[in-house]
Amino acid sequence: MSSAMRKAGAVTSLLAAAGAAITVGGVQLASADSVTATAGVNIRSGPGTKYAIVGGLTAGQRITAVGKPTNGWIKVRFNGDTAYVSAAYLDLKSGDTSPGPANIYTKGTKIATAPLNVRQGASLGSKVIGYIAAGQNVTLTGKQSAGFAEMLYGGQRAWVSGQYLVSSMNALPKKTGARYATADLLIRTSTDSDFNIITTVKKGTRLQATGVTRSGYAQIVYNSAIRWVTAKYLSTQPVSSAPASNSGTSSSGPAKQTKPATSHSNPAKTSGSTSGTSKADPSKTGNARPTTPAVPKVVGSRYATTELLIRTTSGSDFKTVAEVPRGARLQITGATANGKAQVVYGGVARWVTAQYLSTSKPKAQTSRPVTPALPRVVGTRYATTELLIRTTSGSNYKTVDTVPTRTKLKITGTYANGRAQIVYNGAVRWVTSQYLAKSKPASRSSSGGSSSVGLVGSNTSSNKGKIALNYAKAQLGKPYVWGAEGPNSFDCSGLTLRAWQAAGVNLPRTSQQQFLASPRVSMSNLKVGDLVFFYGPSPSHVGIYAGNGKVINAPRPGKVVEYTPIAYMPVAGATRPG
C-alpha cells in the first residue's frame, strides 16, 4: 500500500467489528474506483444482511469498490481483504482519484456526528444511562462489540454506537455548490422521523450542498457537520427575504426580513398542501406575482369536536397559527395527509387533525355532567407530592386543579396509562398513581430545606419561580454527575427537582416526568423559574429559565451547572410548576 494511502489525519469513522477488534489502518479509501457512502451503512462479510457485520461507513466516507454491484451488493476492499456493502447506500458515480484515507483507530478522543444514547451494555436493549450531543468529544477505551464502542462516561465505562463517531471533521462530503433557502428552514440531524433540530435558518440563507438527497431532504454541510434540509425549499439562485427587493441577497446570509408572516409559516406559499404549492414560495422576491396565493376549492365544512390547532403544514415541521374552540365550523378542501385535513382558514390553506372533525356540530358542554354516573369509591390514598388533577388519563388531558402534598383523595381502583382514577368534587378525574400512598406522609421539617407544606398557597407562582431560580444560581459551578440531586453535584432534573423543592413544590425525578407534571406555558410567555425542556418529544434535558433567553442547567458529564442560551438546543416546550 502506498504511503499516501496510509496517511493519517483525514476524517475517520470508528468501524465496529462483530466479535473482533479492528486494527489500525483497515479501510483503504479514495482510489480510482472509490465510492461514497450516502448514509451510515454496515460493512458485512458477505452479500446479504444475514452475514456478520465487520465494520461500517459514515455518510460521506469513501471506500474502494471491486467490480460492479450484484443483486444489490457491491464488493469492497476492507482490512486487507474483501467485504460487502449494500449498493443502495453508495454513490457509485463519485469516484475520486485523490487520496483520502480513513485509517481506523479504536482508542483516544472521537467526535459524535449525531446525538447518541449512552448505554450500560453493547446492545440496543441495554439501559440508557445518558446522552451525548452531536459534536461532543467521546473518550474511547479501545474495546468494541457488535457495532458498539466502549467509552468513559462520568467516571464509568459505558457504550455508544461506533458508527457515528469520527476522529475529526476535516474530510466531510465534497460540496457541490451553494444553495439558497427559499423559506425559513429547519436544519436537521437526519432524514428519519426521530431527527433533532439543530437550528432554523432564515429565507435567503446560503447553504453548502453535497448533492446527496434522500426522502425529500438534501444533505448539506453546516457548521462543519453533515446536516439535512427540505430539498424543495432550496434554489440555485440567491433569494431575497425582503418583499420589496428585486435583487438577490448577499452570499453570506439572508437579507433583512421585513414581513415575517409571509415566510415559511404560510402554507399556501410553501408546504401547506401536498398537491404542490411549493413553487409559489419565491414570490416574495418581487412584485411580479400576486401577494394573495390561489386558495384550494372548499368542498364542505366540518366541526371541531375538541380544541384544535390550526397548523401551517401537515408535517412535523408545522407552525401553529391559531387555536379554535370546540364546535368551531371549518371549511375543508377534501385533501388529507399524515392524519391531517386541509382547511381554508383566514383565506389561506391550513391543516388540522382529521380525527377531531365531525359533520355535525357537537353538543354544548356544561361545566359538569347533569347527573354523572360516578364510579364506586373503593378507598382513599394520600398525595406524596403536589399533584395535578386531570380530566383524562391520556396525553390530551386538561388540568382542573392542583392539590398539595398529603391531600386525601378518593380512589375507584381503576388505573390507565400510569394514572389512577379518583372522584374529585363530584366528577371522575385522574392523578399520577406513583405519587399516591396508603399512609399520610409526614410533614417536611425545615432541616432539609424549605417546608413545602408551609409554602404551598403562601407564595404566588411568580415568587416561587424566583425562589427556584435563586436556588439554581447558588449551585452555579457545581459539577454534573449522573443521578445526583445535590448538594455537591447535580444532573439536569436533579437540579430542577431541588430548586423547586426549595420553593415548596415537589416535582417527579426525571425530565420526562417533570415535563408532564406541570401546566405548559408558551416560549413567548416565560417567567424566571419556569422549566424549559429540550430534545423532545420525550425530553431528555431540562433547565430553569433565568431570563434574557438563557437557562441555568447541568448539561452533561465534564461540565458544571452553568448558564446556557436556549437557542443552543432544540426546545421541546416549557412548564410552570407551582
pLDDT tens, position by position, 477-521: 999 988 889 889 999 999 999 999 988 899 998 888 899 888 888
pLDDT at site 436: 86
- Residue 444: per-residue pLDDT: 52
**What's the grid cell of residue 304?**
371541531
3 state SS of 468 = helix
Mean of pLDDT over the chain: 73
Q: What is the pLDDT of residue 575?
A: 94
Average pLDDT over residues 115-135: 78
How many angstroms separate the CA atoms of 163 and 13, rounded? 7
Report the 3 state secondary structure along 70-112. Answer: ECCEEEEEECCEEEEEEHHHEECCCCCCCCCCCCCCCCEEEEE
364-412 residue pLDDT tens: 765 444 455 788 888 999 988 777 788 888 767 777 777 788 889 999 8
Asked whether this chain's domains 34-91 and 177-235 adopt the same fold, the reply is yes
Question: Do residues 16 and 56 touch, judged by C-beta distance below 8 A?
Answer: yes
Higher per-residue confidence, 564 vs 132: 564
The DSSP bridge partners found for residue 534 are 541, 571
Q: Assign domain 460-575 one CATH number from 2.30.30.90, 3.20.20.70, 3.40.50.970, 3.90.1720.10.
A: 3.90.1720.10
CATH superfamily name and code, 379-437: SH3 Domains (2.30.30.40)
The backbone torsions φ and ψ at residue 538, rounded to the nearest 5 degrees and listed phi first, read -105, 90
- Mean pLDDT across 18-26: 30
Q: How many residues does the chain have?
A: 578
- The span from the CA of 541 to the CA of 553, in Å, is 9
- Rounded average pLDDT over 91-101: 48
Q: How far apart are CA 54 and CA 47, in angstroms?
A: 12
Structure-model confidence comparison of residues 433 and 147, the more confident one: 433
For cell 389512577, name the residue: 420
Domain ranges of the chain: 34-91, 108-166, 177-235, 300-358, 379-437, 460-575
Note the pLDDT of residue 369.
45
pLDDT band at 476 (very low <50, low <70, confident <90, very high): very high
Between 125 and 411, whose confidence is greater? 411
Output the nine-digit C-alpha cell for 254: 439572508
Quote the CATH superfamily of domain 300-358. SH3 Domains (2.30.30.40)
pLDDT value of position 562: 93
What's the pLDDT at 8? Answer: 32
pLDDT value, residue 497:
93
Domain 108-166 in CATH 3.40.50.620? The answer is no
Q: What is the pLDDT of residues 176-227, one digit of tens each?
A: 688 998 888 888 777 766 566 677 788 889 998 888 787 788 888 887 677 8
| Percent of the chain scoring above 70 in pLDDT | 71
What confidence score (pLDDT) does residue 79 get? 59
Residue 492: its pLDDT value, please?
94
Split at pLDDT 50, 70, 90, the class of 102 is very low
Look at residue 495 in the predicted model and tell me its pLDDT. Answer: 96
**Mean pLDDT on 424-430:** 88
Q: What share of the chain is helix, strand, coil (3-state, %, to 5)?
A: 10, 40, 50
Q: Tens digits of per-residue pLDDT, 223-244?
A: 767 788 888 889 988 887 533 3
pLDDT for the residue 500:
93
Task: Give the pLDDT score at 134.
Answer: 64
pTM of the full structure: 0.28
Domain 177-235 of CATH type 3.40.50.300: no
Q: Of 100-109, 286-295, 459-468, which range is least confident? A: 100-109
How confident is the model over 430-445, as a mean pLDDT? 79
- Per-position b or e across 262-293, b if 16+ CB within 10 A of its CB: bbbbbbbbbbbbbeebbebbbbbbeeeeeeeb
Report the pLDDT value the prediction gives residue 107, as an integer from 0 to 100: 62
Please, what's the largest Cα pairwise distance for the chain? 87
Q: What is the pLDDT of residue 259?
A: 35
What confidence tens digit (pLDDT) does each residue in 255-311 have? 333 333 333 333 333 333 333 343 444 444 444 454 556 888 888 899 988 878 888
pLDDT of res. 572: 86
Residue 241 has a pLDDT of 59
Residue 472 to residues 400, 509, 530, 561, 563: CA-CA distances in angstroms?
Answer: 29, 16, 12, 8, 10
Q: What angle do CA 16, 17, 18 make, to 5 degrees?
A: 125
Instruction: Determine the average pLDDT of the residues in 79-84.
Output: 74
CA 515/CA 572 separation, integer angstroms? 9
- Check residues 563 and 142 and name the one with the higher pLDDT: 563
Rounded to 5 degrees, φ, ψ at 389 are -95, 115
**CATH class for domain 34-91?**
mainly beta
Residue with cell 502506498: 2
